[in-house]
């Protein structure tokens, strides 16, 4: 069991935090430089996005491990439901699973996509989602990959998610009933939920596959791309971490900050230094 | 008990729907024209905003009643908590209560404001909110006004609300414990909540003081000002209304659509006609 309080080996970087999407194509830094910069600071792991990996999954995974770190996860499957899900959704998701396996990433994140065409609300879509995840779960298990359903802030309902709360995500996990299907808990998406602690306890430690750190700024100017650095917002980071730990989670704390107007404009070295300092002091 | 299905006497207009805030000052139409246009179509009531009322509260209320309708409510108190709450918050809220009473509005809506300075999350702020509402409740009761706490979509956490769900709002009601303090249920804010029906049942009919209609567009371009007309989005309007009615609510269905890029650009007559048609067919 790790000591979360100060041990940087529990800290993981989600590469998007360094400005990954700023120009719509790739990262500011080559993957190799990201790996080295994380290793130099003593981080325990990295979470990549598929667009960074290309056909170099095994090579990149090996490089992370050679640097003394872990690949903690991969973002993410295509949408599995909703009007933006690809036509060959199972095939597309299996390709993402393959990439995670080749990378040596134990967890592949699922952002579900929105309400299915021809339906209203989220309940029917959650049922369809569960069917599709149930189809994917054995394939992922065979490749040593777990699937993490990530509930998103309800503002992303409609076109991006049908899971608004940890409770929603756990309900779909239970419907799927596969041992390698769980949830990812992201501060940005769950900070407001006054039932979070009880929902996490109901989930249990086996179901919690990821914990994502950032902050919710009091005045959030852009719902997608204005996440705050830990400590700069109003999320009760200590209470959320206490709840996650009380539920038995012992995995990494992954910093994932989309911040087009602020952190993405800074030197990645400055961002990494801030992450380390904030992780030690406010998380 | 009204027959909600087709009876327009259950339908109320929230005046903001006609483009109230389009120029930052007032409505497209004078209050009198709004009243006449609603009465001509057989609507049961109107909900006003304070800025429309000025010192003409009694006069406007009488005019609504002379047209055969009800003033169903008034929007809204100043923020009661958070960094944007006014310094003399109780005085300011009492002035809003006075205006509601003078208007003959049975319900005054409360949008709470965000996280209190010096705190994190929402729990501490909810406690402070409950204290302030408890201070205001007897004053409002003395003037014949009920106070409706409106939970907002969690995207408005931080700076606009500390109540994200019906459950949150009911918890504060119970903490206050006054018979004239309840909740307002707005489709835009609650459509995503898979625990809505049970939360409404737990609230009970005495606590539900308002039901607001609009829709959540699949692609919501502006979180504040891109609400959809009923039927144009993904909210399950029939399921939500069923849940509200199952909880015992028999009050008005108030249409409240902030739509800067669409409905606010249209002729108010067209908007009113659309409201009537959609209310009869999809709500």
Residue A190 lies in a domain: yes
For B15, phi then psi, to 5°, come to: -60, -25
CATH of the domain at B81: 3.20.20.150
Residue B264 lies in a domain: yes
Query: What angle do the packed helices B196-203 and B237-246 form, to 10 degrees?
Result: 30
Nearest to B79 by CA among B193, B158, B25: B158
pLDDT computed for residue A28 by the predictor: 82
Per DSSP bridges, beta strands B11-14 and A253-255 are: unpaired
| Residues 6+ away with beta carbon under 8 Å from B114 | A218, A234, B79, B81, B82, B83, B84, B125, B156, B157, B158, B159, B160, B161, B162
How far CA A237 is from CA of A1, A71, A230, A278, B283, in Å, comes to: 20, 24, 8, 11, 40
Residue A112 lies in a domain: yes
Is B233 in contact with A165 (Cβ distance < 8 A)?
no
For every residue of B32-89, DSSP letters joined together read: HHHHHHHHHHT--EEEEEHHHHTT-HHHHHHHHHHTT-EEEEEE-PPPSSSTTS-TTH
Dihedral of alpha carbons B156, B167, A213, A232, sign: positive
A122 to chain B: closest CA residue = B192
For chain A, say whether B281 makes contact (Cβ under 8 Å).
no
Q: What is the mean pLDDT of residues B178-183?
A: 98
Using a CB-CB cut-off of 8 Å, the residues of chain B touching A117 are none
Q: Do residues B35 and B69 touch, judged by C-beta distance below 8 A?
A: yes
Residue B1 lies in a domain: no
pLDDT computed for residue A23 by the predictor: 54
- Range of weakest confidence among B23-37, B48-62, B114-128, B228-242: B23-37
For B157, phi then psi, to 5°, come to: -65, 160
Per DSSP bridges, beta strands B181-186 and A146-149 are: unpaired
Nearest-neighbour CA in chain A from B148: distance (Å): 20
Task: State pTM to two decimals.
Answer: 0.96
Q: Do residues A268 and A27 touch, judged by C-beta distance below 8 A?
A: no
Q: From CA B68, how far away is CA B35, in angstroms rounded?
A: 10
Give the single-character DSSP code of B92. H
Is B83 in contact with A218 (Cβ distance < 8 A)?
yes
Q: Do residues A168 and B165 touch, judged by C-beta distance below 8 A?
A: no
Residue A2 lies in a domain: no
pLDDT computed for residue B3 by the predictor: 46
What would the pLDDT profile of A30-66 be if each residue is shown by its tens digit? Answer: 999 999 999 999 999 999 999 999 999 999 999 999 9
Using a CB-CB cut-off of 8 Å, the residues of chain B touching A193 are 154, 164
Beta bridge partner(s), residue A74? A48, A108
Q: From CA A41, how far away is CA A20, in angstroms rounded?
A: 20
Nearest-neighbour CA in chain A from B32: distance (Å): 36
Q: Is pLDDT above 70 for B5?
A: no
How far CA B177 is from CA of A135, B131, B138, in Å, comes to: 49, 11, 11
| Residues 6+ away with beta carbon under 8 Å from A200 | A166, A185, A208, A243, A244, A246, A247, A249
Burial class (CB in 10 A: 0-12, 13-18, 19+), B9: middle
pLDDT computed for residue A29 by the predictor: 92
What would the pLDDT profile of B186-195 be if each residue is shown by its tens digit? Answer: 999 999 999 9
B residues 7-66 lying closer than 8 A (beta carbon) to A = none
Residue A3 lies in a domain: no
Domain count, chain B: 1
In b/e form, how buried is each residue of A76-110, taking b as 16+ CB within 10 angstroms?
bbbbbbbbebeeebeeebbebbbbbbbbbbbbbbb
pLDDT computed for residue B85 by the predictor: 98
| Closest Cβ opposite residue B155 in set A171, A223, A235 | A223
Is B192 in contact with A157 (Cβ distance < 8 A)?
yes
Dihedral of alpha carbons A151, A152, A153, A158, sign: negative
Q: Is pLDDT above 60 for B246?
A: yes
Q: Is pLDDT above 90 for B24?
A: no
Q: Is pLDDT above 90 for B132?
A: yes
pLDDT computed for residue B200 by the predictor: 98
Is A158 in contact with B83 (Cβ distance < 8 A)?
no
Q: Is cis: bond before B224, omega within 30 of 0?
A: no
The CA-CA-CA angle for residues A119, A123, A128, to 5°, reads: 75
Structure tokens at B158: 């931080």
Q: Do residues A124 and A116 touch, judged by C-beta distance below 8 A?
A: yes
What band does B28 get if pLDDT is binned at 50, 70 and 90?
confident
Average pLDDT of chain B?
95
| Residues 6+ away with beta carbon under 8 Å from A215 | A187, A188, A227, A228, A229, A230, A231, A232, A233, A234, A235, A237
| Residues 6+ away with beta carbon under 8 Å from B177 | B134
Q: Do residues B20 and B50 touch, judged by C-beta distance below 8 A?
A: no
Q: Suggest the residue from A153, A170, A216, A234 to mutate for an interface test with chain B (most B CBs closer than 10 A).
A: A234
Show the domain range for B194.
Answer: 8-281
Average pLDDT across each block of 10 residues of chain A; the chain has 283 residues. List them in order. Answer: 68 93 66 97 97 96 98 98 97 98 98 98 98 98 98 98 98 98 98 98 96 97 95 98 96 97 95 97 95
Is B193 in contact with A114 (Cβ distance < 8 A)?
no
For chain B, say whether A251 makes contact (Cβ under 8 Å).
no
Is B194 in contact with A120 (Cβ distance < 8 A)?
no
Q: Do residues B18 and B271 touch, judged by C-beta distance below 8 A?
A: yes
Residue A69 lies in a domain: yes
Strand segments, DSSP code E, in chain B are 11-14, 45-49, 70-75, 107-110, 146-149, 181-186, 208-213, 253-255
Q: Do residues A43 and A69 touch, judged by C-beta distance below 8 A?
A: yes
What band does B20 get if pLDDT is binned at 50, 70 and 90?
confident
Residue A1 lies in a domain: no
Q: Do residues B46 and B69 touch, judged by C-beta distance below 8 A?
A: yes
Is B235 in contact with A121 (Cβ distance < 8 A)?
yes
Q: Do residues B234 and B218 touch, judged by C-beta distance below 8 A?
A: yes
For chain A, say whether B195 makes contact (Cβ under 8 Å).
yes
pLDDT computed for residue B26 by the predictor: 57
For chain A, say whether B218 makes contact (Cβ under 8 Å).
yes
pLDDT computed for residue A5 by the predictor: 54
Q: Suggest the residue from B79, B84, B155 to mutate for an interface test with chain A (most A CBs closer than 10 A).
A: B155
Using a CB-CB cut-off of 8 Å, the residues of chain A touching B158 are 216-220, 233-234
- H or E segment and range at residue A213: strand A208-213
């Amino acid at each position: 069991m790790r000591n979360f309080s100060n041990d940087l080996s529990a800290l993981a970087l989600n590469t998007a935090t360094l400005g990954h999407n700023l120009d719509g194509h790739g990262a500011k830094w080559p993957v190799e430089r990201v790996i080295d910069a994380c290793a130099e600071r003593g981080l325990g792991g990295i979470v990549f996005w598929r667009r960074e990996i290309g056909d170099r999954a095994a090579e990149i995974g090996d490089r992370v491990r050679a640097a003394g770190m872990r690949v903690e996860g991969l973002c993410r499957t295509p949408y599995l439901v909703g009007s933006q899900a690809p036509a060959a959704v199972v095939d597309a998701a299996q390709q993402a699973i393959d990439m995670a396996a080749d990378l040596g990433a134990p967890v592949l994140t699922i952002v579900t996509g929105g309400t299915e065409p021809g339906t209203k609300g989220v309940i029917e879509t959650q049922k369809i989602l569960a069917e599709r995840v149930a189809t994917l779960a054995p394939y992922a298990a065979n490749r040593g990959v777990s699937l993490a359903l990530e509930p998103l802030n309800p503002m992303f309902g409609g076109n991006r998610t049908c899971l608004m709360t940890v409770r929603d995500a756990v309900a779909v996990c239970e419907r799927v009933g596969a041992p390698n299907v769980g949830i990812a808990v992201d501060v940005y998406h769950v900070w407001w939920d006054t039932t979070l602690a009880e929902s996490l306890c109901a989930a249990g430690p086996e179901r919690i596959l990821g914990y994502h750190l950032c902050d919710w700024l009091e005045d959030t100017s852009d719902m997608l791309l204005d996440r705050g650095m830990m400590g700069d917002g109003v999320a009760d980071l200590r209470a959320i971490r206490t709840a996650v730990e009380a539920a038995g989670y012992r995995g990494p704390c992954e910093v994932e900050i989309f911040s087009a107007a602020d952190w993405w404009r800074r030197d990645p070295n400055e961002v990494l230094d801030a992450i380390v300092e904030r992780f030690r002091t406010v998380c």
